[in-house]
């Protein structure tokens, strides 16, 4: 297993998207209880930052963005993001979460869930079916047989959109002219009869949200595994298909069953993974086998999310970040103390966030987020005016920390005095003062910040 020092930093970053405070680190390291890691995990999942950070993950997947090509507008973005964050804070069962997104109707400003239908590039049934399959099944719709694709698309053929007098507001509704009964082929090849007058989206949700569905539970537990460990048991996590098998099917099956058995409690899945030996492994490889990483033989060393990285830099330097948006104020106003992980709108960005791989939130694909280091990123961290300004203007870094002095014993004092003459002590004190003055002038190298997992 990894050391306690490594674990506390890792779990803080992975669960809350923030660095631990020094006093929290000391308290954890001094705790001798055998279950202290489990206690820390439980404690972190009660933090407000847990809901804030995991709202970021869901906002990427659900394409929460005010401007092109999604065009939700800030009113809808804020309502949608608040609904997502509240669902995470209250630990809404995942089956209820999915059903509300799939079956809601109304104003996208007043019924936040309907923004699932608004945050799609296109209003045609095929675009909606593609988004539903990707989000809730981890499935690329074009991987299904054509008949199955057409059957799923038909279940969204009655969804309509209507503008209102309010700028950018839209009503998502079922077309009242289409009420006839029809037969549809589902993604697994089974056929259902949608009764006259019934919402076909409800019929789809009824089929999707069952313990026997081959995609629903598998998709979300695999995604959470990938979010915490860098890659899915099925990888990529949004490309589940028969010819892309799981590396550990028995683990995936166990997590699926645990989710269903615990009434779709996602926090239960987080705890299972975070408390596992796999998650708590050392990052030092024990083998040179190229398959070791994909088989989770050690904890994968990976770059922090762009939002987490800039928040860590701001926290360490005591600075804030400047953001940009195509949307004018007051719609895009960002308070100075705003953390990047808490930004609701994917349209509000910065040069740093874009350089370090923040997703555009255009497709909902996991591959939109780029967490692979680049030369441009390395140069930015080492030698950019952006980072150097944060360091040189930081009162936090230029103020040396005050550590409590450990009192010397009488014997130690006598030994020191015997070895050190008065002249030597004066010379050493002068050198120490000169070194302290030099440190104040010197820029802190970025390597000292240790911002990679």
Give tens-digit pLDDT for 82-128.
Answer: 999 999 999 999 999 999 999 999 999 999 999 999 999 999 999 99
Q: Is residue 94 situated within a structural domain?
A: no
Helix axes 4-16, 22-30, angle to 10 degrees: 130
Identify the weakest region by mean pLDDT among 124-128, 338-342, 395-399: 395-399
pLDDT value of residue 448: 40
Question: What three-state secondary structure class fits 192?
Answer: strand
Q: Is the residue at 160 inside a domain?
A: yes
Q: In sequence order, which ranges of 331-374 are alpha helices (DSSP H)?
A: 351-355
Centre a 10 Å sphere on the Cβ of residue 383 and count the other Cβ atoms it contains.
10
β-pairing, 106-107 with 170-174? Answer: antiparallel
Q: Are 174 and 162 in contact (CB under 8 A)?
A: no
Q: Per the omega criterion (within 30 degrees of 0), is the bond before 330 cis? A: yes
Q: Quick one: tokens of 129?
A: 């079916």
**Dist. CA 388–CA 394, nearest whole Å:** 10
Task: Please state, for a pLDDT cut of 90, what percent of the chain lies above it.
Answer: 77
> pLDDT band at residue 443, thresholds of 50, 70 and 90?
very low
Give per-residue burial for 406-430: e unless 16+ CB within 10 Å, then b: eeeeeeeeeeeeeeeeeeeeeeeee
Answer yes or no: is pLDDT of 172 > 50: yes
Domain range for 198 is 104-208
Question: What pTM was computed for the model?
Answer: 0.87
- pLDDT band at 175; cut points 50, 70, 90: very high
Which of the four pLDDT bands, split at 50, 70 and 90, describes residue 450? very low
Query: On the CB side of 67, how many CA atoms lie within 13 Å of its CA?
Result: 12
Q: Is 129 part of a structural domain of the chain?
A: yes
The answer to whether residue 332 sits within a structural domain is no
Is residue 183 in some structural domain? yes
- The whole-angstrom separation of Cα 225 and Cα 240 is 14
Mean residue pLDDT across the chain: 91
In a domain, 311, yes or no: no
Residue 106: phi and psi, rounded to 5, are 130, -165
Contact 325, 349 (CB under 8 A): yes
Q: What is the pLDDT of residues 218-229, one digit of tens each?
A: 999 999 999 999
Whether the pLDDT of residue 445 is over 60: the answer is no
Q: What does each C-alpha distance from 15 to 311, 345, 359 come to in angstroms?
A: 14, 21, 20
| Residue 48 forms part of a structural domain | no
**Paired tokens of 349:** 């960005």
Supply the Cα-derived Rg of the chain in whole angstroms. 26
430/15 Cα distance (integer angstroms): 47
Q: Strands 159-163, 106-107: parallel, antiparallel or unpaired by DSSP?
A: unpaired
Number of domains comprising the chain: 1
Question: Is residue 99 in some structural domain?
Answer: no
């Amino acid at each position: 297993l990894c050391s306690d020092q490594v674990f506390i930093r890792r779990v803080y970053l992975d669960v809350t998207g923030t660095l631990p405070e020094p006093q929290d680190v000391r308290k954890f390291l001094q705790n001798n209880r055998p279950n202290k890691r489990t206690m820390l995990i439980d404690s972190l999942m009660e933090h407000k930052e847990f809901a804030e950070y995991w709202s970021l993950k869901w906002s990427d997947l659900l394409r929460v963005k005010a401007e092109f090509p999604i065009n939700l507008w800030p009113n809808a973005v804020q309502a949608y993001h608040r609904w997502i964050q509240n669902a995470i804070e209250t630990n809404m069962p995942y089956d209820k979460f999915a059903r509300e997104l799939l079956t809601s109707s109304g104003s996208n400003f007043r019924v936040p869930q309907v923004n699932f239908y608004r945050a799609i590039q296109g209003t045609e049934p095929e675009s909606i079916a593609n988004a539903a399959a990707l989000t809730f099944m981890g499935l690329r719709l074009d991987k299904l047989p054509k008949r199955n694709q057409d059957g799923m698309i038909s279940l969204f053929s009655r969804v309509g959109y209507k503008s209102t007098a309010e700028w950018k507001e839209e009503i998502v509704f079922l077309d009242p002219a289409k009420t006839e009964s029809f037969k549809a082929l589902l993604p697994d090849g089974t056929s259902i009869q949608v009764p006259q007058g019934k919402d076909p989206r409800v019929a789809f949700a009824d089929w999707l949200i069952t313990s026997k569905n081959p995609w629903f539970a598998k998709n979300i537990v695999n995604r959470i595994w990938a979010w915490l460990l860098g890659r899915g048991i099925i990888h990529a996590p949004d490309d589940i298909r028969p010819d892309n098998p799981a590396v550990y099917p028995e683990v995936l099956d166990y997590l699926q069953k645990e989710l269903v058995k615990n009434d779709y409690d996602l926090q239960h899945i987080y705890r299972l993974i975070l408390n596992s030996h796999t998650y708590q492994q050392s990052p030092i490889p024990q083998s040179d086998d190229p398959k070791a990483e994909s088989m989770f033989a050690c904890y994968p060393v990976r770059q922090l999310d762009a939002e987490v990285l800039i928040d860590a830099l701001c926290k360490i330097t005591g600075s804030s970040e400047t953001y940009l948006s195509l949307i004018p104020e007051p719609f895009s106003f960002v308070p100075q103390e705003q953390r990047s992980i808490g930004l609701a709108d994917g349209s509000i960005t910065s040069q740093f966030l874009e350089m370090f791989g923040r997703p555009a939130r255009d497709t909902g694909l996991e591959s939109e987020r780029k967490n692979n280091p680049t030369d441009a990123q390395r140069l930015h961290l080492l030698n950019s005016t952006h980072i150097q300004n944060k360091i040189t203007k930081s009162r936090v870094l230029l103020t040396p920390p005050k550590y409590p002095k450990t009192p010397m014993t009488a014997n130690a004092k006598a030994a020191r005095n015997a070895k050190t003459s008065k002249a030597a002590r004066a010379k050493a004190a002068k050198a120490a003062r000169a070194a302290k003055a030099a440190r104040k002038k010197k820029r802190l190298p970025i390597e000292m910040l240790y911002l990679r997992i």
